[in-house]
Amino acid sequence: MRMFYHLGRYAIFLKKVFGKPEKHSVFVKQIVREIDKLGIDSLGIVMIISAFMGAVITLQTAYNIDLPIIPKYTVGLAARDSILLEFSSTIVGLILAGKVGSNIASEIGTMRVTEQIDALEIMGINPAGYLILPKVVAFVFIIPALTVISMGVGITGGYLAGSLTGEVPGPDYIYGIQFAFQPFYIVYALIKSVVFAFIIATISAYWGYHVQGGALEVGKASTKAVVASSVQILLFNLILTQLLLA
């Protein structure tokens, strides 16, 4: 029953979020600010994790393929497909659910408990639309760029790890990442990442917006936001994979 309560309240909340913005010029400024805060500030963590994951995927694949009849370029192919299909969208999405999700939930939650949201309401401003819509738009807009960067850095990390350890010669790796390449895999990853961005931004904002109490409740809302976003990412990953790849 609790799930239906939250689903209903989430639907009402989304209706408020997607209300008409108060002022176009203010809305555009906020989107630019949120792109910087949610997107550009996440670039570092996305690049570091992508580089190391790409390297680890490459080495693990190389160490597990020890049959001489399997060509070395298979390692590049496996690394590419792992990064494109799953890592750069889903795993990065889960990481961003932690970083961006907790940031949004705690920011909105703190504004709620310190009556800043009430202050907006008193002024006749729709607080959900004013505070949250720019975050959703900005994050959905910037996440494809983060995903593409993650793909590039992940594959480069794999190349460096394979070459430096001597497990996969550079030319083999490069041949592998080009072999039987399907451009749709990139589209598939981008579609998933956009859906995940929407999930992270709206679910985290939902938990923050409905905080009641004080600092302790803001912390709890932040945790709930990360857990709920992560579970929904995994669920939608399954649904989208079935819909797009079947």
Partner 1 sequence: MIEAIDIHKSFDDKEVLKGISTKFEKGKTNLIIGQSGSGKTVLLKSLVGLHDITSGDIRYDDNSFLSMDNASKKRLRQDIGMLFQGSALFDSLTVEENVRFPLDMFTDWNLEKKRERANFCINRVKLENANHKFPSEISGGMQKRVAIARAIALNPKYLFCDEPNSGLDPRTSIVIDELIHEITKEFDMTTIVNTHDMNSVMGIGENIIFIYEGRKLWEGTKDDIFHVQNKELEDFIFASKLFKKIKENNG
DSSP string, 51-94: HHHHHHHHHHHHHH---TTS-THHHHHHHHHHIIIIIIIIIHHH
Q: Which of 68, 124, 166, 183 binds partner 1 (CB under 8 A)?
A: 124
Site residue total, partner 1 (CB under 8 A):
14
The secondary structure of residue 98, as a DSSP letter, is I
Q: Which of 56, 86, 121, 219 binds partner 1 (CB under 8 A)?
A: 121
Q: How far apart are CA 162 and CA 173, in angstroms?
A: 8
- Binding track over 52-91 against partner 1, x by CB under 8 A: ----------------------------------------
Cβ-proximal residues to 151 (8 Å cutoff; 6+ apart), any chain: 50, 83, 84, 88, 186, 189
Point out which span in 54-62, 94-102, 108-116, 193-201 binds partner 1 (CB under 8 A).
108-116
- Please report whether residue 216 would count as binding partner 1 according to CB under 8 A: no
CB of residue 125 vs partner 1: minimum separation in angstroms? 6
Residue from 78, 81, 50, 54 nearest 150 by CA: 50
CB of residue 29 vs partner 1: minimum separation in angstroms? 9
For residues 41 and 115, which CB has a smaller minimum distance to partner 1 in the complex? 115
Q: How far apart are CA 223 and CA 216, in angstroms?
A: 11
- Please report whether residue 114 would count as binding partner 1 according to CB under 8 A: yes
Q: Which of 64, 115, 171, 239 binds partner 1 (CB under 8 A)?
A: 115
- Please report whether residue 122 would count as binding partner 1 according to CB under 8 A: yes
Cβ-proximal residues to 71 (8 Å cutoff; 6+ apart), any chain: 172
The secondary structure of residue 115, as a DSSP letter, is T
- Please report whether residue 119 would count as binding partner 1 according to CB under 8 A: yes
Q: Which residues bind partner 1 (CB under 8 A)?
A: 22-23, 26, 110, 114-116, 118-119, 121-125
